[in-house]
Structure formats: structure tokens, C-alpha cells
Structure 1
Amino acid sequence: MKKLLNLPLLAVIILFSSCEKKITDLEFEKKVMTEIFPDLIESTCIDIRLFSEPPPIIGQIIYDSEGNHIGIDSIKGTDEQRQKLLDWKNLKIKLERDTSKVIIGFDPIIRDSSKDLKEDFKNHFKNSKIFLPKQKKETEYVFDFKNIKLNNKFRLKNIALFPKNNKAIWRTKYNFIFGGVVSFSRIQFDKNRQFGVLDAAFTCGRLCGQGTRIYIKKVRNKWIIDDIEGTWVS
């Protein structure tokens, strides 16, 4: 009798298990990307206004006999230099407190990484086997980001709404604070779908930007960023 009573429960378990297995690799990837997307934006995008100018120096620059910069004599700092540094600090505090949204151009087409991430994946996640499907039908997909709530001051705008000419993107005067352009590659997972790796690129000008390799993992049923490595700087 007990065995008969357990049959409905067993049927439900089998049903849910089969439904979970039916989810395609692409559907699973989209689900993970949606979950971790706010953290990806926060980790890769920067407010370039905070880094556009270095802090003014206080003192006199010291050079050696060959004209190489070897230090700064802070004792010879002037009142004018101190005031410039104070103004720089006040501006930085003002920008940090600014609640205005910084608009980031986003390419919603998520493509395969141009780099082979297999070895980096194996080196970072020891004893994990990267998932490489035998027949890869999709090399890219369009990511629906519009309804994802971000954690910070950044807001995304489809890159298709910006000038198509790369030079024009940076020369155009916008009626909003334009912060740069961000894009992400597709995620490669291990066979057990517990670890992943993807590439990101953030550009803030024609000669301003950086690339990163992002390692993610599943902890307590939640996807988090495990580590970020720089891949290029412009």
C-alpha cells in the first residue's frame, strides 16, 4: 500500500526532472545572463567623469641629470596648487553624489567570443570540464535587456540608436550624460552548469577602453561573479 501511495510523488519528481532537462543550452544561457546582468554592468562600466583628469600635484617636480622624472618636492608646494587639488577633490565628491543617470550604449547581440576561452576556463576552475556542444546551431542571439533592473547609476540604450559611424559616436553632443559602449560575449559553461566564463568590452572613447574576462559560478543556487581579469587596455 505504501508503495502505491508513493507512486504519484515519484511521477511528479520524474515530470519535473524531465522538464528541467528539456531546457535548451541557449535558454539556460539566457537565463543565467539575465540573472547576472546587473552585476556585469556594475563591474565593467565606469563613470569616465571621475577619471578624466588626474589629481593636480603639490610641489615641484624633480628631474635627474638626464631629464627623467624622479619625484616631487612637496615642501615647495604653492597655495595655488593646493587650491587646485581642493577644487579637484570637491568636483570628484560632487560627481560621486550626482544622481544623474549615465547612459551606456549596449550591443544586445551576444556573440561567441573571438578568443578560445577553454584553457583559461580550465586554469581558473580546476577539475572542471568546459561544455562544448557537438552541434552548435546558434553563434549569437539578441538579448532582451530592457526590463532588467540595474543596481547603479548606469542606464542602457541600444547601440543601434547611436550614430553608426564609430567616430560620430564620440563626437556627437547628446542631451544626456554619455558614458561609453559595453558589449558581452556568450557564456561558456562546464558540463555540470556550475561555472562559466565570458568576455566583456567597455569603450569610453576612440582611444579609451578596456577588455575583461569574467568568471562566474553558482553559489547557493545563485550566479555570482567569481573573478575578473583584464585582457586589453586602450
Structure 2
Amino acid sequence: MKKLFPIIAILLITFQFSCKKKIDELQFEKNVLNEVFAEIADSIYRDRRTMLPPPFPRIDFKTNKEDTIDFDKRLKEYNRFQDSIKNDTARILLAVYDTVKTYKNHSLKKSETKYLNDYKLDLTLFKNNKKFNFKSSSLFPNQLFWDINDLKSSLPVGVIYLYRIQFNDKKDKGILEAASSCGGGKCGQGYLITIENKSGYWKVSKVKETWIS
């Protein structure tokens, strides 16, 4: 029985070391995502207010010709509204699906993913962001039911989704999937995002569109 004690002790130490390694790796990943999150959001978000196309000319059925006066008026109103959005300095309300999902394997490294779990993104870390007011998507109705034609709606301009980061062996590069939508089941788009550590800072180096709906 005494001979078993050293073996059990070694197994316990190995297990504790393995658990600590996984926790350290997760914390490293969280720190990296926190560093690039706002940049990713700015790269992929879709603003429902800007997704509506410009107005089309209407036919005056009395003359059977285009009503150019009415069209010019509506086009000016449309352009004025678009300009007001571009010049608006108020923070943009953006919904975030704050459960970071487990990634799909890509080319940087074929890691084992079975032990990975989803985790919650702490949006309070970005409460002082000057451009965006990030809020959990759980605070709002499902984005599929948003009316993107209601320009006066108090709902977010869109919603974004993120997956966990997959790093290379040196841990100086990573890739992750992300997606965005402007609501109403419209303008959905997927992305494969490459991030790199340059001079001690993590930055987005490439955003590749992968699907659109």
C-alpha cells in the first residue's frame, strides 16, 4: 500500500499542473481577446440605419413619367439622414452575443478542441469605449424580430458574435471566427479574422469575409 502513495501523489501533481496550464491558457486567450475586441467590433459591425438602399424614382400614373421632383426630395432626405449618422458623435449601441463559442479548426494549428468550453465575455471592461456602447444581446429581443426599417427604434444598430481564438505554437498569431447582423434576419455576414502580436501589442491584421446571408 505504501508503494502506491508516491504514484498517487505524482498523478495528483500531474493533474493539478494540467488544470493550471488550461486555466493559464484560457486567461491568456481572454487577455488577447480583450485587447482586440473593440477593433474587431469596429471592423465587422453592420449598422441597420445605413443598410437601407436609396429611394427609387416613382412613376406619376397621370403622366406615365417619373416624378423627378418627389424623387429629388426623397433622395435629399435620405442623404441628409446618412450624413447625420456619419457625423453623429454619440456612442453607437451595439449588441454582443457575449458567450464566446468554441472555435472550428483552421490551418494555424490542429489543436485538440474537445476540452474547450464556451465562456462569457466581460463587457464591463469596455464601458469607457468612446465609439461603442456594448450591451449583451440577452437584454434585447432576438435580433430576428428587429424591424430594421424603424429608424427611430431604440434597439441596437446591430449584433456581433465571436468564437474562441486558435493560436499558433509561438502564440504570436491567432485566428477566430466572427459574425455580424443588422437585425431582422438581414445582412448577416461571417468572417475569419487574423490577429498578430506586433511589438508587444495584439492587432487585427486581416479580416476575410466567409459567408453572407
Taking the aligned partners of 2:156 and 2:134, their CA distance within structure 1 comes to 10
Query: Does 2:174 align with 1:216?
Result: no
Size of the aligned set, in residue pairs, is 182
Of the candidates 88, 113, 116, which is equivalent to residue 98 of structure 1?
A: 88
Give aligned-pair identity as a percent: 29
Q: Which residue of 2 aligns with 1:117?
A: 106
* CA distance, structure 2, for counterparts of residue 101 and residue 198 of structure 1: 26
Q: Structure 2 stretches of 5 or more lacking a match?
A: 1-20, 58-65
Map of 2:212 onto structure 1: 233
Match of 2:140 in 1: 162
State the secondary structure of the residue aligned to 2:122: coil
Matched residue type, 1:142: K
CA deviation profile, 1:175-205 (whole Å, cap 9, x unmatched): 7242122110000000001110001111122
Q: Deviations over 1:121-149 (max 9, x none)?
A: 4xxxxxxxx2625x853321112121224
Secondary structure in 2 matching 1:108? strand
Aligned residues of 2:176 and 2:192 also touching (Cα < 8 A): yes
Matched, 1:193 2:182: no
Give the letter for the 1:232 counterpart: W
SS in 1 for 2:208: strand
Summarize the alignment of residues 1-234 of structure 1 with structure 2, pairs less than 5 Å apart: 24-54=24-54, 56=56, 78-113=68-103, 115-118=104-107, 121=108, 130=109, 132=111, 137-148=115-126, 149-152=128-131, 154-163=132-141, 167-168=144-145, 170=146, 176-204=154-182, 205-234=184-213
Residues 201 and 51 (structure 1), Cα distance of their counterparts in 2 relative to 1, 3 Å cut? same
For structure 1, list consecutive stretches of 5 or more residues without a partner in the other structure. 1-20, 58-75, 122-129
Report the CA distance between 1:90 and its aligned residue. 1.8
Output the aligned Cα RMSD. Answer: 3.1
2: CA distance between counterparts of 1:84 and 1:143? 42
Change in CA separation of 1:144 and 1:131 when aligned onto 2, cut-off 3 Å? farther
TM-score (ref. length: structure 1): 0.66
Letter in 2 for 1:189: F
Classify 1:78/1:166 alpha carbon distance in 2 versus 1 (closer, same or farther; 3 Å). closer
> 1:107 aligns to what SS in structure 2?
strand
Q: Secondary structure at the match of 1:27?
A: helix
